[in-house]
Chains A and B, each alone.
Chain A
Amino acid sequence: MGRIVLEKVTKSFGDVKVIPNIDLLVEDGEFVVFVGPSGCGKSTLLRLIAGLEDTSGGAIRIDGQDVANEPPAKRGLSMVFQSYALYPHMSVRNNVAFGLKMAGETKEVIKQKVDHAASILNLTDYLDRRPGQLSGGQRQRVAIGRAIVREPKAFLFDEPLSNLDAALRVQMRLEITQLHQSLKTTMIYVTHDQVEAMTMADKIVVLNAGNIEQFGSPLDLYNKPANLFVAGFIGSPKMNFVIGPEAEKQNAATIGIRPEHVSILTTEPTDADGPAWPASVGIAEHLGSDTFLYMTVDGIGSMTVRASGEVALKHGDRIWLVPDLTRLHRFDADGLALDR
């Protein structure tokens, strides 16, 4: 079991309120990702749950029991650190076994559990090596191995993939998702990478300046962002925001349209096409599967468009952009989303 509830949790460092007031419910077995720009308090929130930082107020309940004043060891959670934080003076076997030794398990139990974890994580051949002799991906696996042998109530990941190169990151992302599917243990995962958040999470917590901007499934956040911050943060390339007369036409202070929800016309539009914005192509990035076009729209400003496949457009071409009005997002003057 691993149901984690945060009630009115606050955290200040001196006079600085890092977490003003957070309420959150993580159900047992959920994969929840904390995402937000750097300095938004996501790592601090994770460390509060872990017990590595003391809360300034509020309750943290794990399976109903308030653990806010318990040391990390008593909370029954495991953590994987960004730096891996392996014990450099111990072999891989002893790194993985350390938590079990601290818990006073017998030698036979420790050996069996460590060997089992090593076989899941493809570490069997490396058990006698020191962390210094391993590659980044292998170190990451050892860190995960150390977390899983303890059979915790929940796993906490603090940007675990940010030190890996791009290819390895994609692979480890899949491995962690698979691990979650087979263990079915609660996982809380901190990242600033919204691709990781979208691909791994059951639910995403978008944090900004220590506040939860929105909490929901990845597609909820994508389809129904609650405000301008979430709208701009989730999705890549970023959502285009338009203010001024075009927004007023839609009865909003700001309208947002995602780059993938704009189609391109190379010929003069007709009335049947609906509203169309004349634009000229600034930069075209050809990725093969997609083409990203950075446009300057007359009277509106810059806009990004994502076109599927290869598009034969180059710098300076004149075209028309047609927004998909059913996928348009409208926001009021305070930046909050309006109903469609």
Chain B
Amino acid sequence: MKQKLNISNYIVLLAATAFFVFPLIAAFEFSLRSNQGKSHDWSNYQWILHEPGFRTNLGVSMRLALLTAVAVLVLMVPTIVYLHLGGARWKRLVEFVCLVPLVVPVISFALGVGTAFPTFLQSTVYELSFLYVIISLPYTYRALDVGLSSIPLLTLVEASRASGATMRQTLVFVVIPTIRSAVNGAVFLAVALSLGEFTLAVLLHWDTFPTWIANVSQGHILNAIALSVLSLVGAWVVVMIFALAPKSLRSSKSQEATS
């Protein structure tokens, strides 16, 4: 698959690298400034660690992400498995429904939620998780659908049922381990989305990690920049570890051997 790159390809890649790396370096340099830009040290980063808001708000976002991921799996895996088995005639409809969140701008959605939801739902920050499930639908549906299309699902389910497993056992112990990489992809998307989402959180007046960064910037712009660099680099490192890990860690090979 590897082909020779010509000179214009190199120019494009070089320009792209410069365009994406240079602002990041500049932001990093800026976040190290102290004393009105006279010297450089880590004080802006140390401030973050000592600020109690950092831990509480990151905690809220982490819990939201966890709940979103669980909700996505509980809702979507049985649904899509069924679409691949008995409910094939509804596949078009579900596919279409899952694309609707792409058409609705998040700000419009947030407005509707604000007026429509009863107070008991709006009194807890975890309402956001259910909304994150909705706005991640187009991506999670696709990830799981592609994963299920690539395995002999009917054979697996029939074999498992014939051996006396219930449908729930089949889902948890047979189907999910087989499409582990697709499940990982869907979970990863849901988690990334809930950790970075801003619009819904701010319009429904909740404090999450991204809205906290925006609040910090009001009084401590340097600390907000340090936080931004930290969260972007942090997310990038996690994804790179996933993407470049040796194949044995990424795929479901190791699980197959043990089960």
Decide whether A and B assemble into one complex: no
B residues with a Cβ closer than 8 A to A are none
